[in-house]
Every structure is written in structure tokens, then in C-alpha cells.
Amino acid sequence: MAFEFTDSNFEETALSGGVAIVDFWAEWCGPCKMVTPIIDELSTDYEGKATIGKVNVDDNPEVSMKYGVRSIPTILFIKDGEVVDKHVGVATKASLEQKLAGLLEGANA
């Protein structure tokens, strides 16, 4: 199951170093529901290697505003506390894995 990022835990979890993928979503968003199982699978596949989770934009407006999330789903790729990539809209597991693998390779270099 994907990690649940919130306004109160975002800095110490997503920005604490290493690699994180953050999916901004909402309960009422159809495309978000298509991305949810992919994020859940990635969080299991990369457990211990990256922090992968979700932010409910309705429940956590501060972090959503801070990162300028206007459309959902929006997926942020964070490395060592900095946003290094962003994807807006539905994404395939393969495309997300490719970006994640690139970030993890860079972390091991």
C-alpha cells in the first residue's frame, strides 16, 4: 500500500533525502483512480529503495498549493529534497518505472 503523505508529514518524509514519488489525487477524480493501483504496485516493488505515496489534494491543500498542483493526477519525482521531474495526467507503470530507475541509478552513482 502506498504511503500517505499529508501537509504535516510531507517535509520529513518526501523531502528527507533519497528518492520519492508523490501522486497528487482526489477521491472524485476518475483518472486518479486509474493511477492508484500503479502507485500501490510501485510502492511494494520499490519498498526500501524509494518512498512512494499519495497526497489527497482535498485533505492537504497546503502541500498541493506549495507545489502548484492545479491538475490531477500530478506525480512529482523528488530526489534529495528537490523536485526533479513532474508528470501530469495518467501514466503507465512502465513510464513511471523508467523515471524511477533513472533517479535510483543516479542515487547509487
Q: Is 27 a catalytic residue?
A: no
Q: Which of 6, 7, 26, 29 is catalytic?
A: 29
> Is 29 an annotated catalytic residue?
yes
Out of 2, 20, 32, 57, the active site residue is: 32
CA distance 76 to 68: 11
CA atoms within 13 A on the CB side of 81: 4
Residues forming the active site? 29, 32
